[in-house]
Amino acid sequence: MLKILKYSIYDLLRSRWSYVYFIFYLMLSFSLFFLNNDIDKAIITLMNVIVVLTPLIGTIFGVMYYYSSKEFTELLLAQPIKRSKIFMGQYIGISLSLTLSLVLGIGIPFVIYGLFKSAAVFDFTLLLVVGAFLNFIFVALAYNIALSINNKIKGFGYAILMWLTFAVIYDAVFMGLLIHYNDYPLDQFTLIATMLNPIDLSRILILLKLDASALLGYTGAFLQSFYGTSMGLIVSLSALSMWIVLPILRMRSKLKKKDF
């Protein structure tokens, strides 16, 4: 697996798209830190971008890489190597190279800006951890879709739909339910519903650091009492991990039956 991983990273790190992605983050954070000079605003904007964009890019990269390397994958499949290793290698390769683009793209401007002296370093680290999680989660989900659907166009469509579901539709339905069942106690429901969507979960983890005062409003007290504790952090990080583990397990079981 490490061999495959090595070469897929090799390949991806030289891909134009990795650079585009890296430079996008680089320019975004540079302009946020140096044009505006307002670290709070920078982190809030970065959060908005990371929570929406990393899943999208992860999804697109995932399906794109799968479909475009299909023939080469077949060549690999004919080599004396286990199937699951080929795909795990590719999966980790994509996720890592995306994470690298993210970490460097945001990290370099932060370091130059002198972040390590500032108090924002914890927020920033959380931002990167969450971004990395989202990369791994959405590449895994994208790979699941690509593995299940042979038609490239269809697979692409489903992947985008998946992203749209987590990024927008889920929240729309969630809000609708909350408004509709306004009169019922909704704390438990809210908590569980946020756990079931990795984007929501990531957003809330960051929000609790950034907008603590807002979430500590009378509505947010219960959220704070859960997410704000170290127990809550552990639970939510393990929920995020489950969002990686479950798709990988499905990927592996799918691979056992899959025809190429």
Q: Indicate the residue among 41 and 252 with the shorter CB distance to another protein.
A: 41
Q: Indicate the residue among 60 and 245 with the shorter CB distance to another protein.
A: 60
Q: Which two tokens stand for residue 122?
A: 């914890």
* Least spacing, CB of residue 258 vs another protein, in Å: 8
* Least spacing, CB of residue 259 vs another protein, in Å: 4
Angle at 65 between CA 165 and CA 30, to 5 degrees: 75
CA atoms of 27 and 105, how far apart (whole Å): 8
**Of the candidates 21, 4, 88, which has an alpha carbon nearest to the alpha carbon of residue 61?**
21
Count CA atoms within 13 Å of residue 184 on its CB side: 9
Q: Indicate the residue among 18 and 144 with the shorter CB distance to another protein.
A: 18
Q: Indicate the residue among 40 and 252 with the shorter CB distance to another protein.
A: 40
* Least spacing, CB of residue 120 vs another protein, in Å: 12
Spell out the residues 6+ positions from residue 2 whose beta carbon is closer than 8 angstroms to its own: 89
Task: Note the residue count of the chain.
Answer: 260
Q: Indicate the residue among 11 and 108 with the shorter CB distance to another protein.
A: 11
* Least spacing, CB of residue 55 vs another protein, in Å: 10
* Least spacing, CB of residue 111 vs another protein, in Å: 18
CA atoms of 115 and 129, how far apart (whole Å): 16
Residue ranges binding another protein (CB under 8 A): 3-4, 7-8, 10-12, 14-15, 37-41, 44, 47-48, 51-52, 69-72, 74-83, 167-169, 171-172, 174-175, 178-179, 182, 186-187, 190, 194, 199-200, 203-204, 207, 211-221, 223, 256-260
C-beta of residue 95 within 8 angstroms of C-beta of residue 59: no
